[in-house]
Amino acid sequence: MEVVEPCSKRRAASCTKTIACPCKTKYKRYVQPSRAKSFAPEHLYKVPSTQFEDRTTYHLSYLNDRAAARCARLQPIRPVHNLQKSTDKFFDETTNKLSYKPVRQTVKAEPIIPKRRPVTTTDTMENVTTVRHDYGAKHVERPEMIIPCGNIRTSLAALDDKTMARLSYVSPGPIEPVISFNPILEYRPSSQPLPKETTQKLSYQPFVVIKKEFLPWAQKPIYKSPEIAMCGKTTYSESYMENDEVSVEKPFLPVATYVFPYGAKFADKTIYKESYLPGNVERMVPFVPCGNISISDAKMSADTTSKLSYQRVWTEKQKPYLPRTKTMLATAKMQSDTTSRCEYVAKTTLRPDLIVPSDNIRTVDVPLEGETTTALSYVKPDMIKPVRSYKPVMQYYRKLYQELIVRLQSTATTSASSSDIQIPNRIERGPTDILKALESTISRDYTAPHYKFHDDPFLIPQSNMHNRSYALAKESGRKTAMWIRQEHRDLFQHKVADPEIKAFVPLSIYTEESKVTEETLLYEISNGNIVNCIAIYDLLKGEMTIPTKQTLLELLCFYNNSERTDEWLETRWYKLDQKYKKNVWLSYSQIDVLFEFLKEQEPKVAAAAYTAMICGLAKHFSLDKALYLYEESQGKSIPLSVDGYNAMISIIPLLRKENSLKSKSLLMNIYRTMTVNGITPNIHTFNAALNVATTLKTNEVLDFTKKILADITKFKLKPSLTTYYYLLRILSNFGDASYNSFIKILTSLKNETITIQNEKDLNFFVVAMEMASQQFCDRQVGEMVNELLLTGENYKFISNNLREHIYYRMYLELILATEEFENFFKLYSKLVPHVTIPEPIMMSAILEALKLHPAQTAMQYIPKLWSHIIMFGHLNREELMKNILHLMSVHCKPLSDSPLNAQFAEMALTIWDHIQTQNSKRLQHVLVSNIIMGNIILLLLRGNNFTKTIEIISLLIRSPHLIENGQTITAEHINEIFELCLAQAHVPAIFTLLEYVTFHSLEGAGEMAGKLYKTVSLTPNQKNILASLVGNDVLELQISDEN
Amino acid sequence: MSDGDVGNADCDVNFSYILPVVQQTFMQRYFHTSTVVSKVQSGRYKITINRNKPLTYEMANPPHYIAHRKSWNSWNTSNIKDGNRPSETATEDMFIRKFMWGTWPNLFASEVIIKRQHNIIRIAGIITRTLTPYKIYFLIGYTEELLSYWLQCPIKVELVTIDNKKQMIFKYI
């Protein structure tokens, strides 16, 4: 708070100070405001007017009086003295004494005390020991010493100067220095004078140092020596007193001490002197060596110790055994009586003739089957083929056997063999043939998942989605590994495998530093590595031969510069086919440059270039450009190869759509060109023509097709699977009339090994099964197709997940439509889930079919189908739910006391829970049809699950939008629900139902209320609720009506 | 009293014998002896006080039971007479084990079993189900491919899954 007060007051307050306030300014100062009075009630202690009652329960319970408390204590219970001591003697015979009586008969064994033996005798020790006694001293004369007699001589000649070291290290003599070819740096002053004005000089002008200004204030004072002498008495000189004259201390010299009494001397007679008496011994004259090591001139005695000791032994030397000369061998006869001959007398029995197998080992005429492990792994066989045996064919020959018996029995040699031995031809076996034979013994296990999945409960895929994600995840892992190898390629350069395996080595990368040649390009082309090919091509700058350019162009046109994606197995298996045939060709500079170059070359090269280009364009549906190039080549009269023409024919059906050209005339045109250029058509030409035929109108198709087929036979071509595919497509237009032709196609394919030739081959089996199922609906035909698919390696024509699905859907539908359900279900349990997983539509069809069977039959299939529906994740499919709920609630309605009711209720609960979880997950609610809802409630009620029923119905009251189209539960369902509740007399459930009915203003609320009132005796409270639900008047009306 | 007497007597006697005893010990010092170090410890586990240390079957059987009650962790023919590349096999196995340990973090409930047949290496083991199946498949693909790049031969991973590592417990010691 601020208070303004005039200065005068302040002055008055500080009047004692000397300094007066100079002006009339007003001072501000802070004054503490007075505290507001609190309105809180004051706490004051007031003495109570009335006294509290003294005799409370507490007081009465606990006695306050100490004396009284002491009195209240219980009297101690003292023990009565009733223990009396007996005066008698203790009884002597205790149990212990009686049990262990002393044994008196035993005599103690006397201890055996060791005898004392005299250790030492008093006699003297005997002198004669065993050793002394046995070994008498021998007297042996010492052999005379053999003194060597001077036969060691030194050489008189001077030592040779040429030592090894000297000879090795000969001085090399003067060496001419190696002429250095380094350029000699020599300074030559340039003829022209250097310009004086260098950049340096011009840039840095001489800097003139300005003469230093004389600034008197900046001058430093000059030192002047002091005039007054410094004081001599420093602290230092005062502190240290002057030393006295240092006198060197005199050494204390030892003074002669007198140990002995004065004048005494050491005795002369020491023990030493006395011990060693002086002896008159002549000193030994030292033997002075007088050069007595002299080389004696005499010969050294040859009789050395060694020689004398070891006397020479005269023995006769054994003659060496020399091998006999060849001539001797020729002259002398070898001894024929060997030991074995002597001992073993020749037997009279003759050796039986050799029995050579005649003609019973046969080679198989049929080529080996190509059923490799891989092929079988990716095969879904149906009919298990009998395992082919590679054992030699054994046949029982009666004649041969008889002959054998005769030969063995007869000892005579005259049993001539009647038949000539035929040695079978050797069969050429490949390195993998034995493996093939082994793997042909393995067939598909229908109880296990596909080999690409892990056989572990957790890792086995359950649904189509799992199948896809697991297989692709595995491949994704492999791709990651490949990427890592490529990223860290320097770490993966080690070589373990010998020979090197290219697939394990990281792909080479070509940069500007790498040396590339045409061979590298050709190598990369053979690998089909497009990125590297382009890189090398760019590095080579087009310097390569024409054939290489041609191959590169072909590769680039085939893939249109894009990366290869076809090497990943699973990616390809799960890839969807390109549906729309639109132009996907992208033009790249490399292709254009190559093509521009090649088409200017000689006609043959140009033709190949045009062919490659047209094939590539046709493959990528770039129709206009293909047509343009084709016309250009025709204009230049360059004959294309057969592939080029085939490509052109294959795009005719697509051209027609855009250009409204007459396809037939265009085809004829191309035919004509081919004949003019003398080009023989192949099967692909006619396949393309058949493709054209499929687009024609029905009335002209037949003639046209016949013509093409006639052409095929005329050229003696073998129809491929594509041919049959197009034929099937044409046949499908003719309905049942095509049945015979269809069968004919199948029988002609039956015993053939089909090889894949075209992409369209893959469509054959799907179309065939579709026709068998949809068009003919004939079990036999379907089985024929299926059998054909499972023979040999034909399963590879499925090649795609989608195709496999369609194929099996068609197959199962066919069996479902034509066979007994029992038989169908056998097949179903074999194929599902490991071979194929049916789609919801298929499941729905199966359930529909079940409805046609009696309840008893249908009942036994429901559990398995239900578990499959949950497993495959089909709970979202409304159609499917509707069908299965209908089956459970209506078609196979169990008796009221059947245990099935509980199971069905559980299944209904599963569906309801699924709907609820879906609702909680999604923003948009799952809409359920009213029939499904009604059935769920019914099944729950039949299983006596009232709490869940009430929960569902009350939820439906609160949120009626859960049922689609704003519908409500049907009247029949409501009635049945009511009846069920009434039978159990479950009043709360009926109340909830009534609430639902009245909320949605449905009919029948009144009747239900009346019925409830009649049958169940209600409490007054319940009656009130009932009245409030349906209205009092309605209720009374009902009751009166009933009465 | 008698006790004290005896003590004194002992003292005297001992003192008179000290020198020869010392001399004797010096003489005997020339022979160095120590306890026999033949204790075998590897592959065996100590028993705990509360007997609550869990062991798998593999751990419960000490090494001398190999080929009787349990089997080898590495199967190959490198170490038989005239076997091929024994040292390389050992280091490669070590590498594979380390790789598996790192690539499958905390997933293996058993030892990594490595079996070599011809040029194929099969890596087996028991893992827990802590990852979703598709992640396991990813790792399988990755492991097979990367190891085959490294060891330059086909690799196969063969796994068995269990819910919990406690399922591996064979006994408590």
Average pLDDT of every residue of chain A? 78
User: What pLDDT is attached to residue A531?
Assistant: 83
Angle at A746 between CA A742 and CA A750, to 5 degrees: 170
User: What is the CATH code of the structural domain delimited by B54-172?
Assistant: 3.30.70.1350
Looking at CA atoms only, how far is residue A450 from chain B in angstroms? 14
Percentage of residues in chain A having pLDDT higher than 70: 78
Q: Which ipTM value was assigned to this complex?
A: 0.79
Looking at beta carbons, which residues of chain A come within 8 Å of B159?
A: 454, 456, 459
User: What pLDDT is attached to residue A280?
Assistant: 66
**Domain locations in chain B as residue ranges:** 54-172
Percentage of residues in chain A having pLDDT higher than 90: 3
Of B149, B158, B159, the CB nearest to A481: B149
Question: Quick check: B135 and A481 CB within 8 A?
Answer: no
pLDDT digits (tens, 9 = 90+) for A835-863: 888 888 888 888 888 888 888 888 888 88
Cα Rg of chain A, angstroms: 64
Separation CA A794–CA A375 (nearest Å): 9
For testing contact with chain B, the best of A472, A478, A480, A490 (most B CBs within 10 A): A478
Looking at beta carbons, which residues of chain B come within 8 Å of A478?
A: 141-142, 144-145
Most confident segment among A695-699, A775-779, A1033-1037? A775-779
Looking at CA atoms only, how far is residue A453 from chain B in angstroms? 8
pLDDT at residue A624 greater than cutoff 80: yes
Region B114-133: mean pLDDT is 93
Question: Quick check: B138 and A485 CB within 8 A?
Answer: no
User: What pLDDT is attached to residue A392?
Assistant: 60
pLDDT at residue A159 greater than cutoff 80: no
pTM here is 0.60
Partner A, chain B 153-172, Cβ-Cβ below 8 Å: 153, 158-161
Separation CA A624–CA A629 (nearest Å): 9
Region A481-498: mean pLDDT is 89
Looking at beta carbons, which residues of chain B come within 8 Å of A482?
A: 145
Higher pLDDT, A811 or A895: A811
- Residue A457 sits at the chain B interface (C-beta within 8 Å): yes
Question: Quick check: B142 and A480 CB within 8 A?
Answer: yes
pLDDT at residue B111 greater than cutoff 70: yes
pLDDT digits (tens, 9 = 90+) for A430-464: 988 998 889 888 877 888 888 889 989 999 998 88
Residue of B nearest to A493 (CA): B150
* A5 DSSP β-pair partners: A27
Host H or E run for residue B123: strand B120-128
Host H or E run for residue B15: helix B2-28
Question: Quick check: A466 and B133 CB within 8 A?
Answer: yes
Contact criterion met (CB below 8 Å) for A908 and A917: no
User: What pLDDT is attached to residue B5?
Assistant: 45
Sign of CA dihedral A208, A214, A218, A223: positive
pLDDT at residue A574 greater than cutoff 50: yes
Region A587-591: mean pLDDT is 81
Is residue A469 very low, low, confident or very high in pLDDT (cuts 50, 70, 90)?
A: very high
Alpha helices in B52-152 (DSSP H): 57-60, 86-103, 133-151
End-to-end C-alpha distance for chain A, whole angstroms: 92
- Strands A27-30 and B113-117, by their bridges, are unpaired
Question: Quick check: B149 and A492 CB within 8 A?
Answer: yes
Give the A:B interface size as CB pairs under 8 Å. Answer: 78
Burial annotation A286-302 (CB, 10 A radius, 16+ → b, else e): eeeeeeeeeeeeeeeee
pLDDT at residue A168 greater than cutoff 70: yes
pLDDT at residue B12 greater than cutoff 60: no
Is residue A270 very low, low, confident or very high in pLDDT (cuts 50, 70, 90)?
A: confident
How far is CA A6 from its chain centroid? 96
For testing contact with chain A, the best of B126, B148, B149 (most A CBs within 10 A): B149
Residue of A nearest to B129 (CA): A458
- Residue A478 sits at the chain B interface (C-beta within 8 Å): yes
Exposed, middle or buried: residue A894 (CB in 10 Å: 0-12, 13-18, 19+)? Answer: middle
Of B142, B148, B160, the CB nearest to A477: B142
- Residue A668 sits at the chain B interface (C-beta within 8 Å): no
The token duo for A578 is: 């390109």
The token duo for B112 is: 């990594």
pLDDT at residue A906 greater than cutoff 60: yes
- Residue A473 sits at the chain B interface (C-beta within 8 Å): yes
Residue of A nearest to B156 (CA): A454
Question: Quick check: B152 and A477 CB within 8 A?
Answer: no
pLDDT digits (tens, 9 = 90+) for A227-261: 888 777 777 777 776 666 656 667 667 666 555 55
Question: Quick check: B143 and A471 CB within 8 A?
Answer: no
Residue of A nearest to B160 (CA): A456
Looking at CA atoms only, how far is residue B91 from chain A in angstroms? 13
User: What pLDDT is attached to residue B142?
Assistant: 95
User: What pLDDT is attached to residue B71?
Assistant: 92
Question: Quick check: A459 and B141 CB within 8 A?
Answer: no
Of A456, A474, A504, the CB nearest to B160: A456
pLDDT digits (tens, 9 = 90+) for A408-423: 665 554 444 556 888 8
Region A1007-1035: mean pLDDT is 79
- Residue A483 sits at the chain B interface (C-beta within 8 Å): no
pLDDT at residue A16 greater than cutoff 50: no
Separation CA A849–CA A852 (nearest Å): 6
Q: Residue B121, SS3?
A: strand
Higher pLDDT, A655 or A625: A625
Region A168-180: mean pLDDT is 77
User: What pLDDT is attached to residue A899?
Assistant: 82
Looking at CA atoms only, how far is residue A513 from chain B in angstroms? 26
Residue type, A826: K
Looking at beta carbons, which residues of chain A come within 8 Å of B122?
A: none
- Provide the greatest CA pair distance for chain B: 93
pLDDT at residue A827 greater than cutoff 80: yes
User: What pLDDT is attached to residue B129?
Assistant: 93
- Residue A504 sits at the chain B interface (C-beta within 8 Å): yes
User: What pLDDT is attached to residue B114?
Assistant: 95
pLDDT digits (tens, 9 = 90+) for B44-64: 999 999 999 999 999 999 999
Of B145, B148, B159, the CB nearest to A477: B145
Looking at CA atoms only, how far is residue B129 from chain A in angstroms? 8
For testing contact with chain B, the best of A452, A454, A476 (most B CBs within 10 A): A454
